[in-house]
Amino acid sequence: MLNNLPMSSELIERIFSLYKQNNPLIAVESPLQERISLLKNLTQKCINSGINCYMWMLEDDKLYQLRMNDCELAFSEIKEYNRIAFKVVREDSFEILRFWKTTQLQGILILEGIYPWLGQGATDADFFLTAEWIKSALINIKLYNDNSGKTALLLGSNASLKSDIAGLIPIITQELPTVEEISDYLPQILPDSITLVQINEIANTCVGMYLADIETGVKTALAIDNSELVKKVSAYKIELLKRVYNVEFLQPMTIPVGGLELMQSAFKGYKRLLTPLAKSYNLRLPKGVLLIGPPGTGKSHSAKACSQILGLPLVIVEWGHFRSYGNMAEYKLKKLLALVDRINRIIFYLDDFDKGFAGDDDLSRRLAGMLLTWMQERTSDVLIIASANNIQWLPPELTRSGRFDQIFKIDLPNNGERHSIFKIHLARFDKRFSHGGDAFTPEEWQRLLKVTHRCVGAEIQAIVERAAFSIFCQSFDEETPALEDLPPLQITLTALLESRKSVNPLAIREADRIESMRNKADLQGLPSSPVDSSIYSLGDIDIFGS
């Protein structure tokens, strides 16, 4: 008995619904890893329905009839199809389209490998002419084979069709499985000893993967042992998403944040919007949150802090990378948006959002349009956070009201915030600063904060790390002491001041550019920090850090 996979079974029913409506052409978008499962389920459905199922592949230009033999696919070559042995022009490789238009064979013909010629146009003249020939041949199939009991099923991982033919061919996309479908499938591949509670936990972890990937991940974990399955499958998923989608997937982490109290307060409000009580009042998360400000001020760190506050995973994507995909950019974005929609209850962080629009070309506008449409129509609990240095690079339609509901200005840290940031990084090396401790006098802090005026968080981190390295080198020679009896590392004010000399703050080095960013952010962004009310709020006048 063939085990039908839940997602493939649903897809088969949708295909057969269109087949019964006598559609001569159907386009199916299915990931490569699901191909065997899809073909098995489709072939079995055809057999049960008394319909012949054929398959043609570009790789060998042969026509096969698909059968099931002991739950495995069997391929029988159809001799009636006389392929062109010596192909003179590229169209000769697609002789199958002429054959299917006139043959007496009936049923479903799976055509694999045609989509590249049906997507957006190419500059190569030969490729363009071949694409036009294929399009014409498909139109003829639709005209000749209407109500003929013959359906050509175009199969591939990217069913992107040109606009002039897209209206003629219905498209079915194999979506990522739901958590319920995963839960139904997992008992087929898990040991009987796994409890229902464990199955549900594993299913929630697997959301965002196709069933074939889930099977690989689970079997890889089970090959070691049955312990910590959730942890092992989660690690497999994180690595898979990185390879397939070029994203970073982070679980909520515990991180300290220096300052930005107003923005953190807003994040805490978002958490309340995820509750059933808020939903009962039709309240929702913001459509998008935009963080703007100079580099190094903590925009990425703020997204991680939001993940911590909301308790939601974080998916990080470099928006500018989409431009490097060329004609595949829209397909890549479509798949990524489908992924975050399916995972749901996640933070989708678009890093360096402005860099994706630096070219101001048609691709940038199309990607922006896709994102805006998704932001407007989605129903999932996904919080979109985007960061930008140069807000003027963003298209106006992205920053108008109703797109990004909230825009925060992440500015240069004030004295009180720099004091907090210093203590966070000092505590990594010097235990005196841990758990609210301190080792400097207020006068010493005043001196340090004065010389680090206009330093951002990233630069403060560099200053502390360089000072720690300097103290380490002074404290130990090349011989390694006994690790069980190490003296504490104590960072001095002198070391920090010396380290500051080797850091040239960007806000001083590129003062005009940074001030321009800050001024533009002031016009559109809400403050992310309150007025500095710390004891260090007065006295930092020297903007050049001398």
CA-based end-to-end distance of the chain: 80
Cα separation values, 369 from 292, 366, 377, 403, Å? 21, 5, 12, 11
Tell me the C-alpha distance between 288 and 347, whole Å: 10
Ranges in the chain, pLDDT < 70: 1-8, 120-123, 359-360, 402, 478-484, 538-546
- Count other C-beta atoms under 10 Å from residue 367's C-beta: 20
Q: Could you check whether 6-173 and 415-477+487-527 share the same CATH topology?
A: no
Dihedral of the alpha carbons of 329, 334, 340, 342, in degrees to the nearest 10: -150
- Where exactly are the structural domains of the chain? 6-173, 179-237, 261-409, 415-477+487-527
Helix, strand or coil for residue 312?
A: coil
Question: What residues contact 389, with CB distance under 8 A and at least 6 apart?
Answer: 292, 293, 294, 295, 352, 354, 517
Cα separation values, 12 from 3, 19, 76, 109, 294, Å? 14, 10, 22, 14, 51
Tell me the C-alpha distance between 159 and 331, whole Å: 9
Determine contact, residues 54/194, Cβ cutoff 8 Å.
Answer: no
CATH (residue range 261-409):
3.40.50.300
pLDDT value of position 422: 95
Dihedral of the alpha carbons of 33, 39, 41, 47, in degrees to the nearest 10: -170
> pLDDT of 379-409, one tens digit each?
889 999 999 988 888 887 777 776 788 899 9
> pLDDT of 54-75, one tens digit each?
999 988 899 999 999 988 999 9
pLDDT value of position 144: 85
CATH (residue range 6-173):
3.40.50
Domain 415-477+487-527 has CATH 3.30.1150: no
pLDDT value of position 400: 75
pLDDT value of position 410: 92
Total-model pTM: 0.85
pLDDT value of position 2: 40
pLDDT value of position 359: 65
Tokens of 446: 């005043």
